[in-house]
Amino acid sequence: MSETPKLDFGGTTPYEDYSHASVLHTLQQQWSKDPREMSFLVITQVMELYFGLLCFEWRQAQTELRGDDLRAAVRTLRRSDLHMQALSAAWRPIARMTPTEFNSFRDALGEGSGFQSGKYREMEFLLGEKSRSMLVPHRAVPAMHDRLEQSLGEPSLYDDVLGALSRAGFAIPAAVLERDLSQAYEPSADVEQVWAEIYRGTDRDLLELGEALTDIAEEFARWRYDHLLATRRSMGSKVGTGGSAGVAWLEKRTQRAVFPELWTARSFV
């Protein structure tokens, strides 16, 4: 067997056929002449790819939870936590831009804002952060709007976790299991006690499930806080590019925790 890798494929390479790398590298179209915009643009697109990957992973975890395969679900959730760590790291180059550097290409964004990302919105919905008003920015893209409207009415990842716990014999209230899924999840004292019971117990699969979810909740909180810091550092308290309140809006979002009872139940263990 030759030690020299195959170099001539008589056309495209298998790598290109699989990854479509040449297509990816055509998608960065600068709107200004500032070289820093390329960094911002590529990082934004990398974030979008991670949003889509996280949606894929959490839907996979939902399938496993519905089949009561908790170990498989935990493996998927652990993998998604690593994706979230990589996603959060993408803020660093943006956060190191001075206000002057960011302003040098900010006008090219016009009214564009990450607030308008359909995949990020789907990711929030999967985490239980639901709001019908958040469909409004996507009305001009019917396919995305329809997908998000469907997601709004579907179980979140946490809904499927609570369904699996209920089938395992835990006292999840009917009001929680049968709630309006299009509404944001609200904490339940009874669910809090279920998690306290799990953490006082010795079932490793359930403990691992709780910890995997907590890792995701923590990483999502970190993502939001890093977004806040990057925005505060690069543009201060200016109005956001999409017309939002900028830092004030982001500060409000950082105060909400996903999977809330996983945090509060620890006081009872």
Rounded to whole angstroms, the Cα distance separating 264 from 154 reads: 26
- Report how far residue 191's alpha carbon sits from residue 96's, in angstroms, rounded to the nearest whole number: 41
241 in a labelled binding site: yes
Determine whether the annotation assigns residue 227 to a binding site.
Answer: yes
Phi and psi of 201, rounded to 5°? -85, -170
Torsion sign over Cα 31, 32, 35, 36: negative
Q: Please give the structure tokens belonging to residue 267.
A: 């006081």
106 labeled binding residue: yes
Q: How far apart are CA 24 and CA 86, in angstroms?
A: 19
The owner of tokens 């925005």 is 231
Burial classification of residue 65, based on how many CB atoms lie within 10 Å of its CB (0-12 exposed, 13-18 middle, 19 or more buried): buried
Which residue positions form the known binding site for heme?
227
Which residue positions form the known binding site for substrate?
106, 241
Which residue positions form the known binding site?
106, 227, 241
